[in-house]
Amino acid sequence: MSSNFPFSTKGYTPEFCHAVRFILIEEGALYRDGTPKPGLGYVNNSKDPGGETKGGISKRAFPGIDIASLTLDKIVRIYYTNYWKPAYCPEWSGAIALYAFDSAVQHGATNAIRMLQEISGTKPDGKVGPNTRAAVHSGDVEYLCARYGLRRARFYARILKNNYSQTDFIEGWHNRLVHLTDAAWELQ
């Protein structure tokens, strides 16, 4: 794990910094070595329902933001406020937090929590309460991560079933799950 980050780490835990570095690499804002890419991964793919996107932050999710002018620090703040905290990542172990965070980024925080509840055997209502906390904290981390990855693969399959035009993205989605698994094992 790297301890060099190309963004301000003030106010963030080391767990969040490592997790957001992973996200920024996967979203094309950083090279694999963690250095920023020119344009921070700015794209505007007409086939992507997110539309204009920079560092993984999409116009669809944030219509009031000037996507093209986002800085790396602003992107990191958006991830912390809108994905890390709403997915309750500070409450989970490192590997589970990484899975929940990446799921929140890809599928929304409520879906990330529902998936975590499904794999931990609690009611998938998207609300974290004592039953969810107890099930996740008492669960085997490797088992939960393996199940989380499989659950997400199923989620991607449903996206394709409902919208065949998204097939261009399936290989990238599966590669992301492989990279996520590798990154999670590093946290064990």
For 7, 40, 78, the CA distances from 184, given in Å and listed in that order, are 22, 24, 22
Residue-level pLDDT at 46: 80
Instruction: Report which residue type is found at 73.
Output: D
| pLDDT for the residue numbered 2 | 53
pLDDT tens, residue order, the chain (188 aa): 456 899 999 999 999 999 999 999 999 999 999 999 999 999 998 877 788 999 999 999 999 999 999 999 999 999 999 999 999 999 999 999 999 999 999 999 999 999 999 999 999 999 999 999 999 999 999 999 999 999 999 998 898 888 888 888 888 889 999 999 999 988 76
Answer yes or no: are the C-beta atoms of 67 and 53 closer than 8 Å. yes
Helix (H, G, I), strand (E, B) or coil at 154: helix
CA distances from 38 to 30, 55, 151 (A): 9, 11, 34
Domains of the chain listed by start with CATH number: 1-84 (no CATH), 93-188 (1.20.141.10)
B/e letters for 62-85, b = 16+ CB within 10 Å, e = fewer, are beebebeebebeebbbbbbebbbe
> How buried is 148 (Cβ within 10 angstroms: 0-12 exposed, 13-18 middle, 19+ buried)?
buried
Contact (Cβ atoms closer than 8 angstroms) between residue 148 and residue 120: no
What is the distance between the alpha carbons of residues 54 and 67, in angstroms, rounded to a whole number? 6
Q: Is 124 exposed, middle or buried (0-12, 13-18, 19+ CB in 10 A)?
A: middle
CA nearest neighbour of 98 among 25, 11, 10: 25
